[in-house]
């Protein structure tokens, strides 16, 4: 029982780290206004990250033209991943 939970925790951690990197790249590229988000390499980033970012954009308005929802989205993803990994780790310890 310990191996599947440990494997699940590691897989989840790797997935969330990769998604965090993709999200960070998307945020950095948003600073360049000449990027066409409909072009193939950028549209993939947009399709992967916009649904998650739109959750936060719906209730955090831009302040002074700056979109702070991306920062909150990264903090929420980091907090959620740490919490989930900690819960899976504690479940693994209880299995013994």
Q: Is the pLDDT of residue 1 over 70?
A: no
Q: Answer whether 20's CB lies under 8 Å from 36's CB.
A: no
Query: From CA 7, how far away is CA 34, in angstroms rounded?
Result: 42
Q: Answer whether 8's CB lies under 8 Å from 92's CB.
A: no
Q: Which pLDDT belongs to residue 3?
A: 61
Higher pLDDT, 89 or 13: 13
Paired tokens of 72 = 């909150």
User: What residue spans define the domains of the chain?
Assistant: 2-95
pTM for the whole thing?
0.81
DSSP string, 47-78: HHHHHHHHHHHTTS--BTTB-THHHHHHHHHH
Q: Which pLDDT belongs to residue 18?
A: 94
Q: What is the pLDDT of residues 47-88, one digit of tens each?
A: 999 999 999 999 988 888 888 899 999 999 999 888 888 887
């Amino acid at each position: 029982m310990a191996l599947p939970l440990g494997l699940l925790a590691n897989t989840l951690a790797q997935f969330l780290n990769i998604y965090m990197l993709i999200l960070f790249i998307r945020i950095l590229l948003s600073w360049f206004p000449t990027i066409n988000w409909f072009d193939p390499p950028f549209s993939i980033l947009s399709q992967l990250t916009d649904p998650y970012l739109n959750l936060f954009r719906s209730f955090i308005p831009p302040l002074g033209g700056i979109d702070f929802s991306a920062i909150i989205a990264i903090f929420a993803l980091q907090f959620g991943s740490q919490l989930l990994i900690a819960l899976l780790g504690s479940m693994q310890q209880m299995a013994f």
